[in-house]
Amino acid sequence: MTDTHARLRGSMTALATPFRDGEFDEAAFRKFVNWQIEQGTHALVPTGTTGESPTLSHAEHDRVVEICVAEAAGRVPVIAGAGSNSTREAVARARHAESVGADAVLTVTPYYNKPTQEGMYAHFKAVNDAVGIPIIIYNIPGRSVVDMSVDTMKRLFELKNIAGVKDATAKIDRVSLQRQALGEDFIQLSGEDATALGFNAHGGRGCISVVSNVAPRLCADLQEATLAGDYAKALTIQDRLMPLHVQMFYESNPVPAKYALSRLGLMSEEVRLPLVPATEGCRRAVDAALAHAGLI
């Protein structure tokens, strides 16, 4: 296992992308990245779903990754979102991420096209063959419709750069099944905040988190507790965070997170269409969850 592989663990924030008057707010993003690191976040994941990557232009997407790498300055790993339902585009984004110094890339299973298992294998092999940094498979059937099988992951893990999975199936048994088939060196990261504690108990080693946008210290503490085997401490933290785990998805991600970040003074709540600002019901629910966690 390489040093980079060993560092891909713990609380990894799926970073929101701040906007102001319709444009990428670079100043707010730089401050946000530094705040995340200061709060104990173990790795940064720009340009994912939470970063509204579907509505970023290619130039904006690349700029977000560049700034994240520059501000992180090697203090924590940067796992750049580099997925697309177009294999050609996924390769281009992954190559760019590698060229500007990202430590790894996160590549989603192709959405909308509904490829077969063989199509998914060919897609990820193309990305694997194009870069020389670790690739984390992002398996999220709820958004991409397709679900990568354990057998396909096992085939992909034989390739030089496929390192692990961000599992957003919310099926805890998948962790054990994947661990049994692929072994302990296959990096398993939760993509679902509410079940991240149980995920690690099954053999996971971290979470690519939405909630850590607004509660990075608590999320880092929870992950550190589980990785040290202190599940009693982790459960206490989980009880503080559970309302946030729920309410961050009261409406489409990252709408509740952007609202929460605005309440904490970290960025505007502005999102891009087709997303719209949080409703009053969402705002009340998020406020209550932030208060329960002791953040406001």
208 annotated binding-site participant: yes
Q: What angle do CA 89, 10, 145 make, to 5 degrees?
A: 40
DSSP, residue by residue, 190-225: ES-GGGHHHHHHTT--EEEESGGGT-HHHHHHHHHH
d(CA 253, CA 260): 12
Catalytic site residue 138?
Answer: yes
Decide if 69 contacts 127 (C-beta within 8 A).
Answer: no
Residue from 31, 111, 125, 138 carrying the catalytic annotation: 138
Decide if 257 contacts 214 (C-beta within 8 A).
Answer: yes
Cα 102 to chain centroid distance, Å, stands at 14
Decide if 101 contacts 133 (C-beta within 8 A).
Answer: no
Decide if 79 contacts 41 (C-beta within 8 A).
Answer: no
State the residue for tokens 């409703």: 279
C-alpha torsion 62→8→107→211, nearest 10: -80
Catalytic site residue 160?
Answer: no
Residue from 166, 250, 258, 259 carrying the catalytic annotation: 166
Burial of 69 (0-12, 13-18, 19+ CB in 10 A): buried
Burial of 13 (0-12, 13-18, 19+ CB in 10 A): buried
Annotated binding site for pyruvate: 50, 208
Binding-site sequence positions: 50, 208
Q: Which residues are catalytic?
A: 138, 166
